[in-house]
A and B are shown apart, each in its own frame.
Chain A
């Protein structure tokens, strides 16, 4: 029984920690959403290398970080921080936006 509880606790712990922690070898980029805009608006990342975005929503409304080119969409609640992992990107520009507020200016990730 104790063994089962230990295994179950381990599974819960791993499940809780995995989505929020960045992998050690990724480049971590901080992105903030505040005053109806993303900061920074343009992010330059090394091409052909995995990147981790840590997105913090400082506003009082939920947002959805979305990028069609990157095939990513993630809801970020007020005051929350989420992690979005991106694979190694080919050189180029990848736009992102807040899908819940269409007046928010789009940002871009430039891989080079």
Chain B
């Protein structure tokens, strides 16, 4: 009896996975609308740890083509771009930039970003204490350089 149930559940899962592959998602990288200008070492850190979800330059590895993982990743990228998109930095109002920078600073201090779920699949994308300090200093400088703060 238990074997029959296990076989049935496995079959249902396999059929679900098979059908899921036919539900494709759009993995897009729209054109850049004013990419962030930052010192090279800062840009390198941001590209490494943030750009996959917070820019239009997302790298789409092989597993982003396999459902249902692809659905979850697409959701994260869409949400990430909506929250903060470095590829649209130039189109943000100065007040918006200040807010985004403030949230970035908070995320660094609270060590919320990059999320652990992302770091698992992308080894080497975590930020060291030195990286975080460099980013926090850059954020502070950027906030003070915004027209609204001058």
Contact = CB atoms under 8 A, between A and B. Distances in A.
A64, A66, A99, A106 — most chain B CB neighbours (10 Å)? A99
B92 A102 contact: yes
Given A99-B83, A100-B82, A68 B93 contact: no
B83 A102 contact: no
Contact of B99 (A68, A71, A100, A103): A68
Contact count band on B: 10 to 19
A77 B96 CA distance: 21
A97 B106 contact: no
Given A102-B92, A102-B96, A68 B83 contact: no
Contacts of B82: 64, 100
A100 to B, nearest CB: 6
Contacts of B92: 102
A54 to B, nearest CB: 23
Contacts, number: 18
Interface in B80-110: 82-83, 92-93, 95-96, 99, 102-103, 106
A102 B106 contact: no
Interface in A34-84: 64, 66, 68, 71
A97 B106 CA distance: 18
B24 to A, nearest CB: 23
Given A99-B83, A100-B82, A68 B102 contact: yes
Contact of B103 (A68, A102, A103, A106): A68
A71 B96 CA distance: 16
A99 B106 contact: no
A102 B82 CA distance: 12
Interface of A: 64, 66, 68, 71, 97, 99-100, 102-103, 106
9 contacts: A64-B83, A68-B102, A68-B103, A68-B106, A71-B106, A97-B99, A99-B99, A100-B82, A102-B95
